[in-house]
Amino acid sequence: MNPTIGLVGVGRMGSNMARRLAKCGFQITTLYDCNLSLAESLASELGSQACSSLAEVTRQADVVITVVSDDQAMDQIFFQPGDNLLMDSQGKLFINCATITPSVHVAVQQAAAAHGASVLECPMASSITQAREGSLFLMCAGHRDVYDRARPVLEALSVKAIYTGEAGSAAQIKALVNMVMNINTAALAEGLGLADALGLDLNLMREIFAQTGANSRVLQTDGEDMQHREHSTYFSAAHAAKDSGIALRLGQEQGLPMALAQTTKALYDEMVRCGLGELDKSGISELTFKDRRPAACKPA
């Protein structure tokens, strides 16, 4: 029998994960979001309960999946006084999908263990379409027996769920994945921006890039969008800035200069600063194409 599921964070990713699990026969009992109307709308769709209390999410679910935005949000849902997910959590399983600082994942696992609960750190390397289709790529860290316990849920959500080791390891790997992706995105935007300034045919440039050492996954997903200024959000610039910062701090802790990560983070920080943070990461091309940069978007 499938475990009952609660979800915390039902934005673009969390809502589609909930829909996927419901389609696969899991009962979605409880939903929570800081924007209660999002939880209420999805609850009406799935026949679930929208909760205003985090503790209530845990009480009514065997497994609680969290999909939150940053360290502060993770700290709030697990540690805020008076109402948090760890209240009455003995025997429960938490699957935490946020891309956050590795040490925060470790702290949550330790706190959950003290309450008799289990935690699987499970950042995702995919986007909205994959969440809806159950083809996410998951990196999973924690105790191996917890990973095994979570497998039915993971298999419903993913095309691959790789076990990476103890708590913190999956978050480290995900930080590196997003660091390289963000650097590639910035490099592509700069290359296409220069090609445009030189008067070159951007369709031809993308075709040539695809057949040479300039090829990348980002070229496939973002190249045409950069050319045509189509920046509908799958992975926001604000999240790119946040994730680049995680990797940058990890590198600095190891005494590495991280010049490319630092430059890329500065560009995404600039997007956030001038009001472009909710564009897709491809919107970094608004800074690299001649005459596109908004008047308000000036370096700090």
CATH number for the domain harbouring residue 158: 3.40.50.720
User: Does 252 score more than 60 pLDDT?
Assistant: yes
User: Does 300 score more than 60 pLDDT?
Assistant: no
- Do both 140 and 237 map to the same domain? no
- Do both 136 and 19 map to the same domain? yes
User: Does 92 score more than 90 pLDDT?
Assistant: yes
SS3 200: coil
Distance between CA atoms of residues 200 and 180, nearest Å: 27
* Percent of all residues in the chain with a pLDDT value above 70, rounded to a whole number: 99
- Do both 28 and 114 map to the same domain? yes
- Do both 134 and 237 map to the same domain? no
Give the mean model confidence (pLDDT) for residues 124-135. Answer: 92
- Do both 67 and 101 map to the same domain? yes
Q: 126: pLDDT confidence band, cut at 50, 70 and 90? A: confident
- Do both 137 and 200 map to the same domain? no
Distance between CA atoms of residues 248 and 146, nearest Å: 30
**How long, in residues, is the chain?**
300
User: Does 296 score more than 90 pLDDT?
Assistant: no
- Do both 15 and 69 map to the same domain? yes
- The confidence score (pLDDT) of residue 183 equals 98
- Do both 73 and 216 map to the same domain? no
User: Domain boundary residue among 166, 183, 212?
Assistant: 166
Asked if residue 299 belongs to a domain, the reply is: no
User: Domain boundary residue among 166, 182, 214?
Assistant: 166
DSSP string, 46-101: HT-EE-S-HHHHHHT-SEEEE--SSHHHHHHHHH-TT--TTTT-TT-EEEE-----
Distance between CA atoms of residues 271 and 55, nearest Å: 37
Asked if residue 293 belongs to a domain, the reply is: no
- The confidence score (pLDDT) of residue 1 equals 84
Distance between CA atoms of residues 89 and 30, nearest Å: 15
CB neighbours of 208 closer than 8 A, spacing ≥ 6? 214
Token digits of residue 238: 């604000």
Q: Which domain holds residue 234?
A: 171-288
Helix (H) or strand (E) holding 288, with range, is helix 285-288
- The confidence score (pLDDT) of residue 84 equals 98
User: Does 210 score more than 70 pLDDT?
Assistant: yes
- The confidence score (pLDDT) of residue 298 equals 60
Asked if residue 49 belongs to a domain, the reply is: yes
Asked if residue 294 belongs to a domain, the reply is: no
- Do both 140 and 201 map to the same domain? no
Distance between CA atoms of residues 246 and 109, nearest Å: 19
Asked whether the beta carbons of 89 and 112 are under 8 A apart, the reply is yes
For the question of whether the overall pTM of this predicted structure is more than 0.95, the answer is no
Closest CA to 143 of 124, 114, 163: 163
Token digits of residue 107: 């702290």
* Percent of all residues in the chain with a pLDDT value above 90, rounded to a whole number: 95
Asked if residue 298 belongs to a domain, the reply is: no
User: Domain boundary residue among 127, 150, 166?
Assistant: 166
- Do both 60 and 129 map to the same domain? yes
* Mean pLDDT over each residue of the chain, to the nearest integer: 96
- Do both 69 and 147 map to the same domain? yes
User: Does 297 score more than 70 pLDDT?
Assistant: yes
Asked if residue 256 belongs to a domain, the reply is: yes
User: Does 299 score more than 80 pLDDT?
Assistant: no
**What CATH number did the domain enclosing 278 receive?**
1.10.1040.10
Asked if residue 297 belongs to a domain, the reply is: no
User: Does 53 score more than 90 pLDDT?
Assistant: yes
Asked if residue 222 belongs to a domain, the reply is: yes
Q: 87: pLDDT confidence band, cut at 50, 70 and 90? A: very high
Domains in the chain, number? 2
Q: What Rg do the C-alpha atoms of the chain give, in angstroms?
A: 20
- The confidence score (pLDDT) of residue 127 equals 85
Give the mean model confidence (pLDDT) for residues 52-68. Answer: 98
Angle at 174 between CA 108 and CA 107, to 5 degrees: 15
- Do both 25 and 154 map to the same domain? yes
